[in-house]
Structures are given as structure tokens and as C-alpha cells.
């Protein structure tokens, strides 16, 4: 099994997820565990292998949306913590700026910190599941009871 530092992998996930799918990418070398970062804007890694996007030696780090961590996660949180606001939040996601309005509502309701804990736990668990599916052994993973 391939060993990869969990915090570095989490940083790569955040990097990949910072923009639209495909704008930023990260790949894990299945031989060394090295993570290569690729930006559509800047040349971050001058030593990036040329065949990284087509070779079976590399695994693409997923975008949060690929792990089900987008709108569905926000709606699951609302369903659990603020069910009376479910329809309001659902309407947010029909327009641009949904996450800003979502977080404004959470702050108004005193639930913003609860959301961050919920979101971080979901991200960590989804990333650990992804690691298991891809035969990656994360070093220093978070521990859940």
C-alpha cells in the first residue's frame, strides 16, 4: 500500500477544489507517494512528469464535488441542524452566491462553527474512504471514535 501524508493530501484536495473542476489538479505518484500540483494559472512544479495526466503511475486527487462534498453536504447539515430553514437554503442553491448566503444564514443562526466542524469531519471521512478505495495508506490520519 502507498503511504501518503494525510495533511499533504488534504491540502491537495483543497487546492484542487479551490476553483472549477479541472482548473487546478494534483496527482499522486503511485511509486513514490509524491504529490504533484498543476495550476492552469502558474507553473508550480517545474519537475512535473510530462505524462502525468495519461500515465497509470499517477492517481488524480479528486475535487470535493467528486466526493459528494458540495451542495448535498450543505443540505444534509441544514436537514440535521436547521430543518425549518431547509426550503430557504434549497432556494439559495438555485442561484449564484449560494455558499455566501448559506454561511450568512448560519452565522445569523449561530451555527457557523458547527458547520465548519461538520464539514471538516465529512471531508476527512470522504478523503479516508477515497484513500482506501485507491490503496493509499494515509500517514497521520484523523482518528474518529
Q: What is the pLDDT of residues 28-82, one digit of tens each?
A: 999 999 999 888 776 656 677 888 888 889 999 999 989 989 899 999 999 999 9
Q: Return mean pLDDT, the chain.
A: 90
Residue 7 has pLDDT above 60, yes or no: yes
Name the domain count of the chain.
Answer: 2
Q: Is residue 91 domain-shared with residue 127, that is, in the same domain?
A: yes
Question: In this structure, are residues 61 and 13 in contact, taking their beta carbons and an 8 Å threshold?
Answer: yes
Q: What pLDDT does 21 receive?
A: 64
The whole-number average pLDDT for the span 116-130 is 95
Q: What pLDDT does 1 receive?
A: 81
Mutual orientation of helices 71-81 and 112-133 as an angle, nearest 10°?
A: 130
Q: Point out which residues pair with 2 in neighbouring strands.
A: 136
Q: Is residue 49 domain-shared with residue 72, that is, in the same domain?
A: no
Pairing verdict, β 2-5 and 136-139 = parallel
Tell me whether residue 142 is in a domain: no
pTM value?
0.84
Q: Is residue 117 domain-shared with residue 76, that is, in the same domain?
A: yes
The secondary structure element, H or E, covering residue 36 is strand 35-39
Q: Is residue 78 domain-shared with residue 127, that is, in the same domain?
A: yes
The whole-number average pLDDT for the span 136-145 is 82
Angstrom distance (rounded) from CA 106 to CA 52: 41
Place of cell 476527512: 124
What Rg do the C-alpha atoms of the chain give, in angstroms?
A: 17
Angstrom distance (rounded) from CA 9 to CA 27: 10
Tell me whether residue 141 is in a domain: no
Q: Which of 62, 81, 106 is the last residue of a domain?
A: 62
Domain that holds residue 38: 2-62
Amino acid at each position: 500500500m502507498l503511504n501518503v501524508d494525510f495533511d499533504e493530501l488534504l491540502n491537495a484536495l483543497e487546492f484542487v477544489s479551490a476553483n472549477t473542476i479541472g482548473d487546478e489538479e494534483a496527482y499522486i505518484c503511485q511509486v513514490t507517494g509524491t504529490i504533484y500540483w498543476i495550476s492552469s494559472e502558474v507553473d508550480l512544479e517545474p519537475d512535473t512528469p510530462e505524462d502525468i495526466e495519461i500515465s497509470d503511475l499517477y492517481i488524480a486527487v479528486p475535487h470535493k464535488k467528486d466526493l459528494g462534498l458540495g451542495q448535498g453536504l450543505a443540505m444534509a447539515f441544514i436537514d440535521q441542524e436547521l430543518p425549518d430553514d431547509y426550503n430557504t437554503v434549497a432556494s439559495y442553491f438555485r442561484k449564484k452566491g449560494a455558499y455566501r448566503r448559506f454561511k450568512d444564514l448560519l452565522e445569523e443562526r449561530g451555527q457557523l462553527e458547527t458547520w465548519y466542524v461538520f464539514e471538516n469531519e465529512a471531508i476527512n471521512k470522504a478523503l479516508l474512504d477515497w484513500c482506501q478505495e485507491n490503496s493509499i495508506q494515509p500517514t497521520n490520519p484523523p482518528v474518529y471514535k
